Amino acid sequence: MKKRIGISFTKTGFQNYWNWFTVAAQNDIELVELNFEKNNVEDIYTCDGFVLTGGVDVHPSLYNGKEIYNNIPVSLQLDRDLFEQKIYRYSQLNKLPVLGICRGMQLINVLQGGKLIQDLDNGNERHKKEESDKEHTIVAEDNTLLHNIAGSFSGHVNSAHHQAIDPNAIGENLVVNAYDDDDEKIIEGLEFRDKTDKAFMLCVQWHPERIKGKEENPFSQNLKNQFLSAIRGTTMKKLAVTNPATEEIIDELNEDNKESLQKKFDSLNKEQPIWYKLPLAERVNVLKKFTDLLDQDIEQLAFVLTSEVGKPLKQSRNEMNGAKARIKWLTDNAEKYLSDEIMSNTNGSDGYRMEERISYEPLGVVCNISAWNYPYLVGVNVFVPALLAGNAVMYKPSEHSTLTGLQIEKLLKQAGVPENIFHVAVGGREVGESLLDLAFDGYFFTGSYKTGQYIYEKVARKMVPCQCELGGKDPLYVADDVKDIKATAAATADGAFYNNGQSCCAVERIYVNEKVYDEYINEFIKEVKSWKIGSPTDETTYIGPLSRREQPEVLQNQVTDAVNKGATVLTGGNKIAGKGYFFEPTVLVNVNHNMNVMKDESFGPIIGIMKVKDDSEAIRLMKDTEYGLTASVYSSEKARAENVLKQINVGTGYWNCCDRVSAALPWSGRKHSGIGATLSHIGLRAFVKPKGYHLKG
């Protein structure tokens, strides 16, 4: 596994930095361009160390400097400063090596609370670059990291700057390790004073990457070697992201640990009250801008989603368009349901006026442990209303969709969500377990019943809200009075197999009235056989790979169990040979409730279809489950359908439709399908605490 060095992009001499490390990289180091113009913040999570490079002046607003000063550049780059601030903060959060060069040193000083001399005036003759770098001698301080690395108290270096570290405003925990060998004693290097529990961090004012004779100069070559040694010594646990269509590793991300999660939580907890104090209208505008950014970047975001979960590109776009529609409803209705409500305002017999009012206050800092099958749709159900209500959010995407989670974080912050109001927790089961030990004010989980039950029991002692959107074994009944069997078969097949059947509300059991059974089966099989199975990047593909490596075996076992108990496979039934987690769309008949395929959640492209005599038998079988998410009825009579649905203990009922979610309606499960609700006004208020006011005066 190669170690990665993230090098911040600069418009001046970037190739010099790249070449400097390329020579020494051998086969174990990979370079990553971290570019503020591309805003590829997600790549920060892949790096084992960082180089903050030179370039134009740090924006004076970051250290309360003068807006106008001598030799100010034609244009500053505040967006670069803020981008590199994220790099530096990430390095310190995760104790990763950092090398700050020229401007990079000045930025680190500022980020540690220090200030800069904005122009050296007379000192420019010695330090400011003209046609080429200036050259001068430096003196290294004894007992410093720099002196130990260079092995010398003095050296010859280059110079290309007109600003410098203010000796009267050196950043917190920073100490000078070198000065210019001149009467002015310009600061030439910084490092941490107290290095306890710190990774390698060294800053120099000169340019070791382009200094003359750099291979022989210990203030270049030794610095590089020591930095590379620190990079090679990093021990971050990595999360491998795999493409389910090719089984190739797309990327490797640094996982969080208990310490980094605690720090993220602390920052959320500190900043959340500031976010809540913003007017609701401002928070609404931020989330609306997030929607606009989703629309602008839809092709790139869809590609990332498809690459890590395997859903066809068309379905990835559909998911994002669906997310935009949900956000629109939530933002359009936030003021209506989150603003204070005056319940009464009357004069009492004592001559005083009594106002009774309900105020909706945020829970505080909430934990959103999300799912991989619909990262955008499932995610916006939680983090959008949470943010609207004034909460801060720790968002843990599934380990199968973390790249998408990082894209969500990037766009939210680009839209205006403050840095410490939304954080991503990167990792798998261990990270999720660590989140349960933190003092969140609410937990919102989407996933399996087994995991949901564990989370619910674990956090119960905290006595904070815990909502769980879990799985389902959703039944569908086709009555004998359906008028268009072909259309019904096509719609219900889509309800069972869309997104490869990997939907909590996918149709997982079908019951068909015996009067229309044969015709329905015939049309259903025709529909299933018409779909293209293949690469998810092919625009004509309907069935791509399953998202998880272990799922084809789960489905194969369900088929084997059903066939052994008397079921017939009409199409499919096997894992597709070759690379990728592909499984044939599978239709089983002659099934019964002794078979696992009719009792256990499948979460894949498999369906059992059962013949029934009448509505009563259908109802009895539909009710025979531990789950309670959705149920569907296809019939020409609304009253007949509603009669069936009223007898099924589910959170959502469908007539002549299925596998559908609306932001205007609550999304909730019963029994093993979960507890609590998202979406609708109920979902908006799931993230607040009501406070009653009795105001007399």
**Catalytically annotated residue among 469, 523, 584, 601:** 469
- Which residues, 6 or more positions from 636, have their beta carbon under 8 angstroms from its beta carbon? 479, 481, 482, 483
Task: Output the six-digit token pair for 661.
Answer: 């979610």
Task: Output the six-digit token pair for 692.
Answer: 């009653």
H or E element: which one contains 215? none
Q: Please answer whether residues 649 and 624 qualify as being in contact, where contact means their C-beta atoms are separated by less than 8 angstroms.
A: no
- Which residues, 6 or more positions from 291, have their beta carbon under 8 angstroms from its beta carbon? 324, 327, 328, 331
| Residue 520 one-letter amino acid | Y
Sequence length of the chain is 697
CA distances from 6 to 29, 86, 242, 408 (A): 11, 12, 22, 21
How far, in whole angstroms, is CA 151 from its chain's centroid? 45
**Exposed/middle/buried for residue 11 (C-beta within 10 Å: 0-12, 13-18, 19+):** exposed
**Exposed/middle/buried for residue 454 (C-beta within 10 Å: 0-12, 13-18, 19+):** middle
Question: C-alpha angle with apex 326: 662 to 385, nearest 5 degrees?
Answer: 110
Q: Please answer whether residues 48 and 96 qualify as being in contact, where contact means their C-beta atoms are separated by less than 8 angstroms.
A: yes
Q: Closest Cα partner for 287 from 322, 318, 332, 320? A: 332
The DSSP secondary-structure symbol of 142 reads T
3-state helix, strand, coil in the chain (%, to 5): 40, 25, 40
CA distance 417 to 391: 11
Which ranges of 180-279 would DSSP assign to H, the alpha helix? 221-232, 258-277
CA distances from 25 to 20, 31, 56 (A): 9, 8, 28
The DSSP secondary-structure symbol of 398 reads -
Side-chain half-sphere CA neighbours of 667 within 13 A:
24
CA distance 474 to 645: 12
How far, in whole angstroms, is CA 530 from its chain's centroid? 35
Q: Closest Cα partner for 366 from 269, 450, 454? A: 269
Pairing of strands 466-469, 474-478: unpaired
CA distances from 446 to 367, 455, 604 (A): 11, 11, 17
Q: Closest Cα partner for 657 from 498, 513, 448, 469? A: 498
Question: C-alpha angle with apex 451: 576 to 374, nearest 5 degrees?
Answer: 55
**Exposed/middle/buried for residue 173 (C-beta within 10 Å: 0-12, 13-18, 19+):** middle
- State the sign of the Cα–Cα–Cα–Cα dihedral 364, 370, 375, 377: negative
Active site residue 469: yes
**Catalytically annotated residue among 102, 367, 468, 504:** 504
Catalytic residues: 469, 504
